[in-house]
Structures are given as structure tokens and as C-alpha cells.
Amino acid sequence: MNKKINFLNAALVLISLLVVFITVVFSIQFFSEEIRPFFVSCLFVSFIVSVLLGFRVLFLLAKMLRYIKKSEAFSMKTLKVVSAIKKTILLISIAFLGILPFFYTVADRQDAPGILVIGFALVLLPFTAFIFSQIVEELFKNAAELKTDNELTI
């Protein structure tokens, strides 16, 4: 079990390093342009907000892994962390709405409406993760209630 937790912690660190690298490259590209259209600025702001909220999710996942390592997986503390992850993912999905002007402009210039569908799909990805996190929160809530009921009967 300890090896799995360490592997998951290493995966979180690797993911965060990859996100930092992509953010630095994207920021250098954004700030190297002299003229920035509005839709590119919306894309950049949306990207930065999403990255910051994503790091909050990564921090909360690391916190949850620490609880699992201490054998407190189905406690109220873990339930609070899952709830915070759910709220943060909802904020990420709202922040992703800022990429739609970019996709609309590109689709309009290229006369390719399929590009706008790709933009909508990218916006719906975090929303899908939000729905999944709601399901996980309910599962953790039921497991925590069952654990407390089980502890009271013993």
C-alpha cells in the first residue's frame, strides 16, 4: 500500500512539473507578442486561472493521499477534501469558458464550425470531471457514515 501511495505522489509531482513547463512555454509565447487580440488575452487569462485552480486540486489530492496513508480514507476530513476538490473543479470548468472566444474566432476565420465543437468539448471536460467528483463525494459520504455506524456498534 505504501508503494502505491508513493507512486501516486510521484505522479502528482510529475503532473505538476509538466503543467509548470507548459505554463512557462505558453506565457513566454503570450508575452513575446506585441499585439494581443482580445480573444488571445481571454485564452491566456482562462489558462492561467485554470492552472492555478489545477494546482489547488493537485495539493488537495496530495492531502487526500496523506489521509489514505494514515488509514483515514473514510473520515470526515477526507470528505471535506473531496468537497473542496469538487468545488475547485467546478471553478475550473467555469474558467474554461474563457477559451470559447478563441475557438469562435479561429472557427470564423477558417470557416470551419467543427473547431467550435472542439472548443465546446474542451469546456465540457472539466464539467464532466465535476459530475464525477459529485459521485465520488456521495460515495465517500456513504462510506464515512457506514464507518461511523460500524464503529458505534462495536
Which segment of 43-52, 91-100, 140-149 scores lowest on mean pLDDT? Answer: 140-149
> What does the alpha-carbon distance between residue 53 and residue 46 come to, in Å, rounded to a whole number?
11
Query: 0.85 exceeded by the pTM?
Result: no
User: What is the share, in percent, of the chain residues with pLDDT greater than 70?
Assistant: 99
> What does the alpha-carbon distance between residue 151 and residue 67 come to, in Å, rounded to a whole number?
18
pLDDT tens-digit series, residues 73-85? 888 888 899 999 9
Residue 77's Cβ-side half-sphere holds a number of Cα atoms within 13 Å equal to 12
Q: Hey, where are the domains in the chain?
A: 2-153
Cβ atoms of 137 and 82 closer than 8 Å? yes
Name the band, by pLDDT with cuts 50, 70 and 90, for residue 2: confident
Q: What is the pLDDT of residue 109?
A: 87
Q: What is the pLDDT of residue 22?
A: 92
> What does the alpha-carbon distance between residue 120 and residue 99 come to, in Å, rounded to a whole number?
9
Please determine, for residue 16, whether its predicted confidence score (pLDDT) is greater than 70.
yes
Q: Three-class SS string for 38-83?
A: HHHHHHHHHHHHHHHHHHHHHHHHHHHHHHHHCCCCCCHHHHHHHH
Cβ atoms of 91 and 53 closer than 8 Å? yes
